[in-house]
Amino acid sequence: MTLTLLEGAVDALHTYLAAAMAAKVISLNTRYSDTLPNIKTWYKGNTPISSPEFPSVALVGTGWTPKRQMAAALHVENEISLIVFYGHNDLEVRFDRLCRYAIGLIELCAAGEATLGYTVHFRGRVAVTDVLEAQPYLQGITIPVILDKAENF
């Protein structure tokens, strides 16, 4: 195995979440008696330069920290921000749906450790952004995730 570090972590998380999120949205809709739309677009590596489609998720690799070097492996923590974008003119609907997408992503990350091949940690503050655009009242919520793994050289 070769080191993949942050690129490998973002790729693994993107593949897993993109495959599992549609079923999670159905589950959230049942739980909350809501009609959350499926995620339309996944942005991998960074946030979009122009207005993002919504609902969408950006997986932003923010960095990695070496925790321990061993003879044949490097233990690293990959830092990734999941950013959900959603637009709606009703403030309460927009806030509720941002929170529900965040809950879904957190639940998927926690349940997916074996599939991902990483230990998942949530250590940072989940934060709602300011409204990004007046029309269509686009806003985001950021979920910091750490994917932890010893990678072989």
CA–chain centroid gap for 93, Å, is: 21
Measured in residues, the chain has a length of 153
In 3D, which of 16, 8, 123, 12 has the Cα closest to residue 76?
A: 8
Q: Beta-carbon neighbour count of residue 125 at 10 Å?
A: 8
* Residue keyed to tokens 């879904």: 104
Taking the domain 5-80+89-152, which CATH number applies? 3.30.70
**Is residue 153 within 8 Å of residue 74, measured between CB atoms?**
yes
Q: Tell me the three state secondary structure of residue 28.
A: helix
The pair of three-digit structure tokens given for residue 23, joined into one six-digit string: 């079923």
Residues with pLDDT less than 50, the chain: none
Distance between CA 79 and CA 147 in Å, rounded? 7
The whole model's pTM is what?
0.92
Q: Which helix (H) or strand (E) holds 30?
A: helix 5-32
Q: Which long-range contacts (CB under 8 A, 24 or more apart) does 130-133 make?
A: 132/51, 132/85, 133/51, 133/87
